[in-house]
Amino acid sequence: MKRTTTKLADGRELIYYDLDEGAERDAADRRPLEPVDSRPELRLDPATGDWVTIAAHRQGRVHLPPTDACPLCPSRDGHLGEIPASDYEVAVFENRFPSLAGRDGRCEVVCFTPEHGASFADLSEERARLVLDAWTDRTRQLSALPGVEQVYCFENRGAEIGVTLAHPHGQVYAFPFVPPRTAKMAAAAATHRAVTGGNLFEDLLAQARAATARVVLAGEHWTAFVPYAARWPYEVHLYPHRRVPDLTRLTETERAELPGMYLELLRRFDRLFRREGEAAPPAPTPYIAAWHQAPKTGGRELALHLELFTVRRSAEKLKYLAGVESGMESFVNDIAPEAAARRLREVA
C-alpha cells in the first residue's frame, strides 16, 4: 500500500491510499476556498454525564447534491470536488464541516471508490482490504494525537439513515472523550470480570458460537452472529476469535480473512428484502457499520468488533426510534434475533 499525503486549498489534509506503489498523486486543488472556520463546542450534560457536541456550522453543509455536483467524485470534466485527482482508489480527508475539530478531536471522510453509483459491497476483496488498511492507518495516526481518547471508523449508507452524500464513503471520528456507548460497555465488562473472572467479549463470542442458531458466518479467524439481545431488526456483530483492542493489533492472517467476510455480510444485507422472483430488492438496504475499538482510558477489557445493523424491518417498513427508544433509551425489537440470523443465512 502506498500512502500519499497532501493539502487541499483551504489547508485541510488529504491522504491517498493506493495499491500501486508507483501511483502519482500530485494534482493540485484549484478551488478558491476560504480557510475552514468550524468551532464546534463540547458541553457536558450534568444530568447524564454525557458529552454533547454543539456544531451549528454543520447546518450549511452540502445536502444530497445531484450526481454531477457530488464533492466526493474525482475532479474531472470541469467538476472540481474535494479530491483533486481525476481518479483515485481510496481517499481520506479532513471533513470541511466537522463535529469535532482542533483540540476537541478530528473528523475525516473516507471515500471507498471513485464510482458514484457503487457501494462498499461492490468492491473486490483487494479493494476492500485497501479500505481496511486505510482504517488501520487512520486508527494508528489519530490515536497518537494529543487528547484523542478513542478512534471510531464507521459507514452510514442510505437516505433513511440520514446520509447527506450518496457517494460511497465512511467517516472516522477521533473523540477527545469516551463516548457513552463505549463507557457502558466498559462498565459492563468490568462487572462481568468481577462476577465471573472472565472477559465479557470473549464470553459473548463463545456463547454465540455455541448457540449456533444466532451464527450467520463462521470463518477460521472471525465469526459473525446476531447478538442475544439485538436492538435493531437485523443486527450482526463480527468478532475476531482472538481478542484485540483495535484494528492495528490484527495479524496478517486475520486481516486476510476479514475483507471476504465483511463483503459477504454487506451483500447479504442487500439481499434481505428481495421479493421472490425479483432480480433485485426495491432499494439498497440502509445500514450503519460501526467499528468499536478500545479507548485509551478504561479500555483494557474491551474488544475490537463490528456492529452492522439496518433500520429497515421489512421491504415496506422502517424501524423508527419512537418515544420509548428516543426518550428512555429502552429498545423494542420487532424481530427475534434467532429469526434474523436464520434469514441472513437463507440469503447466502
Residues serving a catalytic function are 169
Which amino acid appears at position 295 of this protein?
P
Classified as helix, coil or strand, 161 is helix
Residue with cell 479467524: 221
Instruction: Output the furthest CA–CA distance in the chain (Å, rounded).
Output: 63
Answer whether 82's CB lies under 8 Å from 16's CB.
no
CB atoms within 10 A of CB 81: 18
Burial of 295 per CB tally in 10 Å (0-12, 13-18, 19+): buried
CA-angle at 201, arms to 196 and 202, nearest 5°? 75
Which amino acid appears at position 77 of this protein?
D
Residue 83 DSSP one-character state? B
Classified as helix, coil or strand, 160 is helix
CB atoms within 10 A of CB 138: 21
Count helices and strands (H / E) in the chain: 6, 13
DSSP symbols for 224-236: EE--TT--SSEEE
Instruction: For 215, list phi and psi in degrees, rounded to 5.
Output: -80, 135
Residues making up the chain, counted from first to last: 348
Alpha carbon distance 324, 332 (integer Å): 8
CA-angle at 2, arms to 121 and 242, nearest 5°? 60
